[in-house]
Structure 1
Amino acid sequence: MSAPLVTETAAGSTAAAGWVPWPDEAADRYVAEGYWRGGSLGERLRGWAERYATATALVAGPVRLSYADLDRAADDLAAGLAGTGLTVGDRVVVHLPNRAEFVTLLFALCRLGAIPVLTLPAHRRVEIEHLTRLSGAVAYAIPDTHEGFDHRVLAQEIVTAVPSVRQVLVAGAPGPFTSLEALAAAGAAARADGTARPVPAAPDPAGVAVLLISGGTTGKPKLIPRTHWDYGYNAEASARLCGLTAADTYLVALPAAHNFPLACPGILGALGVGATVVLAASPSPETAFGLIGGERVTVTALVPALARIWVDAAEWERPDTSSLRLLQVGGARLDAELARRIPRALGAQVQQVFGMAEGLLNYTRLDEDDELAFTTQGRPLAAADEIRVVGPDGADVPAGAVGELWARGPYTIRGYYRAAEHNATAFSPDGFYRSGDLVRLTPSGNLVVEGRIKDVVNRGGENVSATELEEHLLAHPSIAQAAVIAAPDEQVGESVRAVIVPVPGAAPTLKAVKAFLRERGLARFMLPDLLTVLDALPLTPVGKIDKRELRRRLG
């Protein structure tokens, strides 16, 4: 029952090229046990629209769409996109913020069998160029401007640099590119008069639905292939565990392209039960509290840094959050003191979510002791989730001891997209994903996150690859050596500290380093918060930079 690993065609359009599927034995078992069922994500929207037709599906600023409206909008845009020649297996880099077009485009692409590559609003030229090349994208979807940044200028750079990108799709004023609104209008007209190009038959639900991005913990971001079946289960089971119903209103405060607000249970889980999804243009308390009160939001998800900001603001402002029943917190470990403040400040139950876009999700349960939700990061979502806590020798550690978390299961990938060399080390020979997270298991079966093996700084839920940032720092003409480490930070958990050895007589300032990195096209979250200049970096006996000693010296 597993989708085949196929060879890419000359046109570069085959959906599964470079994808590592589940072994037949595992795939057959997940189907037999009911984890994998139903149609493609586009087909699922059709069923939801039939079931909840007049209910409000999506609120995004002035836009309010019923389930029937959303279904029709996806069909119109799919027809418009088909008219441009977009077809099954084509990859489309989606670089949209939290606006209605993100949702309609996601489902339109799924209807076509095209594959959205979901990137984050903070990404800039370095990340986007890498991801368009890696995916072989034929199209790039952007807003006209967002937070003062003109994405059309970036798009022109991408089109010039990446030959596979044939068209740019714009939400808003298109400039020299193609308007998403005009495409949808053309698609609606063509559907009405019967001239629309036929949309392909529903894609294989065992095939790739979306390509998510990894946190970039080892060099440049990897692409994570999620299938219609496994991602559908991911969202559906999460909604069930969180008690989501048609009476709920889910606020998307984090970027919608992130796995957490998209499918844990997120947008997909909420729509699957007939709930209302509200997109926040910003996660700031000013924006979010107004939406919570005005739309009677019941559930939302934050990273710990934002949870702290909301709690501090709520204790000062006393907003109306009386409708909020559940606040999920994930992306980084939530400290127990902050967790205990959340119910008092916001009136919501706390649920810790520890997971990864590669698959495995751990949730604290809603019916268990509050103290577990304050002090642990939950336990696996599915009965079929298999986890191991492993020592450096590859053997399981004793109960309660700290080790690396390994996972496999019905929604945990077996390999990154087009990354055969990396897959050889990121996955065990028997298919376990080596997460790089250091955890211990409590007697309750819940996990406690104790740290990471991977060289990454978790800055407010954004993973900053030390290796990648170091490469960019070393390109600076005044920097001879560079190391990137985490610095404790009360607000964001970890700040990014760049430690450099300058060339003689030319130590750059933090301001100059940031300007240099921005010029190289790095996303804002990749920029260092702190700069430390040393005469020399400590080395291990084999001549590598000794980051453990560096952390000890800098405190």
Structure 2
Amino acid sequence: MLEGCTPWPEDVARAYREQGIWRGETLGTVLREAALAHGDRTALVHGDRRVGYAELDRWADRLAAGFAAHGLRAGDRIVVQLPNVPEFVAIAFALMRLGVKLVFSLPAHRATELGHLVELSGAVALLVPETHRGDDHRELAREVRARTGTLRSLFVLGAKTEGFVSVAELESAVPDPRPLPEPDPSDVAFFLLSGGTTALPKLIPRTHDDYVYMSDRAARVCELTADDVYLAVLPIEFNFAFGCPGVIGTLLTGGTVVLADTPNPMDCFPLVERYRATVTAMVPSIMTLWLEAAEWTEEDLSSLRLVQVGGARMPREFTARIEPTLGARLQQVFGMAEGLLTFSRPDDPLESVLTTQGRPVSDADELLIVDEEGRPLEAGRVGELITRGPYTLRGYYNAPEHNRRAFTADGFYRTGDLARLTEDGDLVIEGRIKEMIIRGGDKIAAGEVEDLLLAHPGISAAAVVGVPDTFLGERICAFLVAEGPEIPLADLKRSVHARGVADYKLPDVVRYVPELPLTPLGKVDKKALAAHAASEQEG
């Protein structure tokens, strides 16, 4: 495995192989087998473009040969920053076949984030779009190269530009590419980005073995077939959209992936109708927009059979609206780029689907709810979720100090999530440990207070953070979006108190805002809210 990565222990890896969990297949092999099985069937759709399975396979081969002709070698790292376009998928497969390690970057990243990814990974190359949403990413790439010391090559998706190799040049560099040596399935295929509490992301190594297995399991739980059409609403560099089951899981089963430019329902609803999309995935903030738009849209959404929603806690009042409004079965998802996936099942009881995040997609997943001393808790008790398994990392890339804190001695990953297990074994995420507010010695889960506030008529969105307080340690600050007039704090407290809640859980401060700030994935940006509350307090 690549230096700087933590492998699974040898005995554990051997057991996964003996059990047939890791099949020794690379992601490049998966595409090759799909091309042989499905030939001219449509693999990718973007706008009016359609790419067949065999065409995608040949395209990836040409690109792999082109990257090799321009100096990339197995083991090199390359930061790839592209929107949802077919080239992204073909380039990803090409690099994985070549053994070059992709580092996925968001289109929203700028010089600080890109420079961090280049330096952390030791990347020798950077690939960007020519322009995206009005920004010239070639200037951005030049700036990153000037401030970092490892970049040898710049690649661009777009017109030929001085100092860059265009993707079109890569495609034509080797007219008749020869087969490449097969990468080691246990080696790193690409790096995902962490979404934790630190300002800049850490790198998560994902191997061919673990990602093929995870995507296959996700596809099976979602009951995907070759007749399914997966609408990629989220950026496909996110784990959720790339392999849960996402792009990879859909291609594993012979289905079609439709790439959306934005998650906006105005853009996506016509795609659902035109291509008869059956499955999609999104975060709650996007689902909110879809539910509002579905009330008046004239587009036919009846083809949708399954909508995955994950990434943030959702109150029951919200989840109960999804199936009646969209006509598609809700699948609650808890997942992380680090590994573990839990899904509700299509045939689960309705109450379980509405109120839990389901069960792990693999019987080989191990998860425990533990107290502050690391002792397992019984069903119903809230504690930290820790996990290990055949597709959960054993260490972040080049982060030995952090890894000592993030993993137990026996290899369990400390997720930082507060959770409980129901008597039926379903997982319920209650919040983040970092979001636990300690007020006068009492511990309050921010998510619980948010649910209580959202139950009040006239409150459409709520986010709760802790702010420093000299006497209490922390106070509870609630940022709210009101549907009408602002509701006085005293009225909110009476409402929450009337629900039989301890007084120490009542918000101390309320701030009304037009909307809650979001991260690029659409989660509420609590770091921004906490910083705002702290600066306001200092002022």
Shorter-chain TM-score: what band?
Answer: 0.7 to 0.9
1:96-495 to structure 2, matched below 5 A, reads 96-176=82-162, 177-187=164-174, 189=175, 191=176, 200-454=180-434, 487-489=478-480
The residue number in structure 2 matching 1:50 is 36
The residue number in structure 2 matching 1:502 is none
SS in 1 for 2:296: helix
Deviation larger for 143-152 or 301-310: 143-152
1:150 to partner: Cα distance: 1.2
Q: Distance in 1 between matches of 2:344 and 2:196?
A: 26
**Scaled by the length of structure 2, what TM-score is found?**
0.82
Contact 1:122 1:525 in 2 (8 A): no
Contact 1:224 1:417 in 2 (8 A): yes
The residue number in structure 2 matching 1:461 is none
Q: Which amino acid aligns with 1:365?
A: R
The structure-2 alpha-carbon separation of the partners of 1:387 and 1:66, relative to structure 1 and needing over 3 Å to count, comes to same
Q: Distance in 2 between matches of 1:245 and 1:486?
A: 47
Contact 2:24 2:186 in 1 (8 A): no
Q: Distance in 1 between matches of 2:475 and 2:167?
A: 40
1:322 to partner: Cα distance: 0.7
Q: Distance in 1 between matches of 2:181 and 2:379?
A: 50
Work out whether 1:66 is the aligned partner of 2:67: no
Q: Distance in 1 between matches of 2:421 and 2:168?
A: 50
Q: Distance in 1 between matches of 2:417 and 2:481?
A: 21
The structure-2 alpha-carbon separation of the partners of 1:417 and 1:489, relative to structure 1 and needing over 3 Å to count, comes to farther
The structure-2 alpha-carbon separation of the partners of 1:389 and 1:486, relative to structure 1 and needing over 3 Å to count, comes to farther
The structure-2 alpha-carbon separation of the partners of 1:236 and 1:488, relative to structure 1 and needing over 3 Å to count, comes to farther
Q: Which amino acid aligns with 2:385?
A: L
Q: Which amino acid aligns with 1:75?
A: D
Q: Distance in 2 between matches of 1:526 and 1:153?
A: 31
**Scaled by the length of structure 1, what TM-score is found?**
0.80
Q: Distance in 1 between matches of 2:196 and 2:291?
A: 29
Q: Which amino acid aligns with 1:71?
A: D
Q: Distance in 2 between matches of 1:33 and 1:120?
A: 36
Contact 2:420 2:429 in 1 (8 A): yes
Work out whether 1:36 is the aligned partner of 2:27: no
The residue number in structure 1 matching 2:532 is 531
Q: Distance in 2 between matches of 1:203 and 1:262?
A: 20
- Give a deviation string over 1:172-192, Cα, whole Å, max 9, x none: 1243211112211223x2x1x
1:317 to partner: Cα distance: 1.9
SS in 2 for 1:142: strand
1:527 to partner: Cα distance: 8.8
SS in 1 for 2:392: coil
Contact 2:76 2:100 in 1 (8 A): yes
Q: Distance in 1 between matches of 2:338 and 2:9?
A: 17
SS in 2 for 1:430: coil
SS in 2 for 1:439: strand
Q: Distance in 2 between matches of 1:370 and 1:283?
A: 27
Q: Distance in 1 between matches of 2:475 and 2:105?
A: 24
1:265 to partner: Cα distance: 0.3
Deviation larger for 295-304 or 212-221: 212-221
SS in 2 for 1:210: strand
- Give a deviation string over 1:292-348, Cα, whole Å, max 9, x none: 000110000000000010011001224310100000001112222221111111110
Q: Distance in 2 between matches of 1:427 and 1:484?
A: 31
The structure-2 alpha-carbon separation of the partners of 1:235 and 1:484, relative to structure 1 and needing over 3 Å to count, comes to farther
1:250 to partner: Cα distance: 0.3
1:107 to partner: Cα distance: 0.2
Q: Distance in 2 between matches of 1:319 and 1:534?
A: 45
The structure-2 alpha-carbon separation of the partners of 1:230 and 1:161, relative to structure 1 and needing over 3 Å to count, comes to same
> Which structure is higher in RCO with an 8 Å CA cutoff and minimum separation 6?
1
Q: Distance in 2 between matches of 1:141 and 1:328?
A: 30
Q: Distance in 1 between matches of 2:68 and 2:248?
A: 24
Q: Which amino acid aligns with 1:48?
A: A
Q: Distance in 2 between matches of 1:61 and 1:299?
A: 18
1:485 to partner: Cα distance: 9.7
The structure-2 alpha-carbon separation of the partners of 1:535 and 1:242, relative to structure 1 and needing over 3 Å to count, comes to closer
1:141 to partner: Cα distance: 1.0
Deviation larger for 366-375 or 294-303: 366-375
Q: Distance in 1 between matches of 2:480 and 2:94?
A: 41
- Give a deviation string over 1:510-530, Cα, whole Å, max 9, x none: 9xxx9xxxxxxxxx9799468
Superposition RMSD on alpha carbons, in Å?
2.7
Deviation larger for 527-536 or 433-442: 527-536
- Give a deviation string over 1:415-465, Cα, whole Å, max 9, x none: 00000010000000100000000001111111111110136999xxxxx9x
SS in 1 for 2:151: coil
The structure-2 alpha-carbon separation of the partners of 1:356 and 1:421, relative to structure 1 and needing over 3 Å to count, comes to same
Contact 2:313 2:431 in 1 (8 A): no
1:399 to partner: Cα distance: 2.2
1:484 to partner: Cα distance: 13
Percent sequence identity is 50
The structure-2 alpha-carbon separation of the partners of 1:214 and 1:397, relative to structure 1 and needing over 3 Å to count, comes to same
Q: Distance in 2 between matches of 1:490 and 1:339?
A: 19
SS in 1 for 2:434: coil
Work out whether 1:92 is the aligned partner of 2:92: no
